[in-house]
Structure 1
Amino acid sequence: MLKRKKVWGIFTQLTFLNTIIIAIVIVIAGFTVKNYACTLVNQQEITGTDLEILLNQYLVKVSILAFILAGGFHFILLKWLIHPLKKLTAATQELQKGKRPTKLKNPLIYEVKELNDAFNELSERTAIIKAKQNRLLRDLSHELRTPLTNLSGYLEGLEKGVIEGDQEMYRSLQEETARIERLLEQLGRINQWTPDGEMKNFNHEEILIHELIKRRITIFHVKFLEKGIELDYNIKPFTLEGSTDGLNQVISNILQNIVDYDNGKKVRIDGCIEKEHYLIRFSHKGRRIPIEESELIFERFYRVDASRSLVTGGTGLGLAIAKEIVQAHGGDLSLVTDSSYHTFEIRVPIPK
């Protein structure tokens, strides 16, 4: 309905402008014929058949001139309208070929301006998506290359007899295999919670969020002990609606991130109601994260470490997946940091 109104608006404007042009030409032609007739009768005193012949000849000339003027105005008007559409067509063809077209300037016609704005936004989004795809492929290649190179080196050494297998080596091979399996497993989950993913219409169930968090803490208890991390928590009881598996994964991914990057040996977890959301905070002192990069850590494959070594952390997908799951629940996952003390905040809407 909206598109029809816009199209109708363009046709209305064109019809109105053409009508004005034709009316002006008719009025000019009418006054010209009238003045010429008055001149012939009053000044030259021509009447009868001679007057009729002269008027007919003059009317033909005026009609031709009026046709040329109306056609010229109409041509200029159409060219003024079609020119930005031609630019838009050319830009669309460039976009179709995989190129990034230059930003289109907005014409005076409102409807075409709206179309240009929509195309410019589409072009920007396409460029961003393409850049993210290229980065995803580049990072994925990087993540897989290291463990595969290690596996290949070990196996080649064993085959040629350069090295001998022992328990420590087999453990290293198992770790490299586990790293690849973990990466592939998370890649399989990475788009499940997006708007077009498998879990977009997940079943909502009642969840005792305080019990869910405590169960996750229990599962990570051994890891915290091994790292010497002291855990303190205060979680208010509440019932949410959502996916138990999804929220379990969110809590697990954040706790794993804390285990991998904690420096302060102390973690605080709080859960409470804040306005229309249930708020969960995970606070600890960890490895330095520049404040300007606090949102980037939720990007896929992003790491603060320039080396991007898997030894210093996971696959670079855990927080990205966690954020997508929370957003699928209508909430948000964010990081508040002063570069050394970090607080992950999960906000999940309270059922109405």
Structure 2
Amino acid sequence: MKNEFGMLKRKIILQIIFILVLTMIIGYIINYTLIDGMLQAPFADWFIRFCEDVLQLDYYAAQNAYRILFQQNKHLWLAIGLIILLLVIFYVALSRFTRYFILISTGVTMLSDESDKEIRLPSELEFMEKKLNTVKSKLEKRAKDAQEAEQRKNDLVVYLAHDIKTPLTSIIGYLSLLDEAKDMPVEQKEKYAKITLDKSYRLEQLINEFFEITRFNLQSIILDKEAINLNYMLLQLADEFYPLLAPKGQQAVVNIQGDIQIFADANKLARVFNNIFKNAIAYSDDNSTIDISAENVMDQTIITFTNRGKAIPPQKLEMIFEKFYRLDSSRSTQTGGAGLGLAIANEIIVAHGGSISATSNDDNTVFTVQIPHS
């Protein structure tokens, strides 16, 4: 901070020195040119005439008054003149100093008005110019991100509303057939009942996504930390997701170095792992293995989820932790949720003081979670 203000302080000091030198020079000129120089006699003659004509003094009395008032108090008058001169020059200089505040105020106004113009300040305020432009860029990016997230949310709500009609129409259709065809064969009834149940599950999933959007907008993350056995949590996670792994011939392998204990919110951390694991299952190849590993590195615990599948494009990889962003752009796929799972996981980990990231190539995709021990 001291270095940032260095140029400004140097310029102000130079201006103050300039003011003092200028005042001394002008005072010198006034003293030796006007008071002791060419104007001394004319001023004395004018003052004596003024005393004779206006004050009705004789010549000797007027001359004596001039000597007492001016000649004997020359230094006092000079000091008074210099003080007045200094005040005038200082006022002019102060007006120049306040220009800096006016320029900074103008820059702040441009921030509040969301102006498209770049903020420009004098060279001695270059550090302030950079900071204001940095804040301006961040605010513009946040506004753009918020607008894009809102647009994605609105699009998603429209898509979900449209998608709800499909399973609902099927449910009504199959139930109508079951109601109308009383003599329908048992095998066909079972088939229609199975289809109706599947469509009902899909409808429930879509409705839950609507609620998830609302919860995400309203909730604030409050942590309730406790000691957690990470080994047990990840092993339990792999077991619980077996019904999702089995249909595609997938399996999960948990590899943990030693016994790992962390201090965190168990419920919220489980939600993080659930969201990452569900994403890994959805985008893994059939008959592939999802590797889950954990280890302590200094004061951090690092958990990784590695799956084999199609690589995530770099432009999408940068956005997967944003609100309402779905990796699968097809709105009607079973894997395409509300686009909140990874965004929620990211916010929970950040609330714990950790971080979450992802890398992807043609061989595998790796999600890495770093969280402090306590």
* Same-fold status (TM-score > 0.5): yes
Superposed, 1:331-350 pairs within 5 Å as 331-350=354-373
2:119 to 93, 104, 129: 104
For the Cα contact (< 8 Å) 2:252–2:290, is it kept in 1?
Answer: yes
Q: Does 1:94 align with 2:100?
A: no
1:123 to 129, 136, 151: 136
Superposed, 1:215-254 pairs within 5 Å as 215-236=236-257, 237-254=259-276
CA distance in structure 2 between the aligned counterparts of 1:340 and 1:280, rounded to whole angstroms: 19
Aligned pairs, number: 327
- Unpaired runs of 5+ in structure 1? none
Q: Does 1:278 align with 2:270?
A: no
1:27 to 15, 24, 27: 24
2:89 to 46, 70, 76: 70
Shift of 1:231: 2.4
Q: Give the aligned residue type for 1:316.
A: G
Superposed, 1:54-203 pairs within 5 Å as 70=89, 73-74=92-93, 77-78=96-97, 80-95=99-114, 100-110=115-125, 113-114=127-128, 116-152=129-165, 167=193, 168-169=195-196, 171-172=198-199, 174-185=201-212, 187-189=214-216, 192=219, 197-199=220-222, 202-203=223-224
For the Cα contact (< 8 Å) 1:295–1:334, is it kept in 2?
Answer: no
Q: Which residue of 1 aligns with 2:321?
A: 298
For the Cα contact (< 8 Å) 1:230–1:267, is it kept in 2?
Answer: yes
CA distance in structure 1 between the aligned counterparts of 2:359 and 2:89, rounded to whole angstroms: 66
Q: Which residue of 1 aligns with 2:58?
A: none
CA distance in structure 1 between the aligned counterparts of 2:36 and 2:167, rounded to whole angstroms: 109
Q: Which residue of 1 aligns with 2:232?
A: 211
CA distance in structure 1 between the aligned counterparts of 2:167 and 2:307, rounded to whole angstroms: 38
Percent identity over paired residues: 20
1:268 to 282, 288, 291: 291
For the Cα contact (< 8 Å) 1:224–1:259, is it kept in 2?
Answer: yes
CA distance in structure 2 between the aligned counterparts of 1:203 and 1:158, rounded to whole angstroms: 42
CA distance in structure 1 between the aligned counterparts of 2:336 and 2:215, rounded to whole angstroms: 19
For the Cα contact (< 8 Å) 2:295–2:303, is it kept in 1?
Answer: yes
Query: What secondary structure is seen at the aligned counterpart in 1 of 2:370?
Result: strand
Shift in CA distance, 210/248, structure 1 to aligned 2, threshold 3 Å: same
Query: What secondary structure is seen at the aligned counterpart in 2 of 1:297?
Result: coil
For the Cα contact (< 8 Å) 1:147–1:176, is it kept in 2?
Answer: no
TM-score scaled by length of structure 1: 0.75
CA distance in structure 2 between the aligned counterparts of 1:340 and 1:305, rounded to whole angstroms: 19
**Two-structure CA RMSD over aligned residues (Å):** 4.3
Query: What secondary structure is seen at the aligned counterpart in 2 of 1:326?
Result: helix
1:39-80 CA-partner distances (Å, limit 9, x unpaired): 449xx9x59943977998xx99x98x9589727843761464
Q: Give the aligned residue type for 1:255.
A: F
Greater CA deviation, 286-295 or 163-172? 163-172
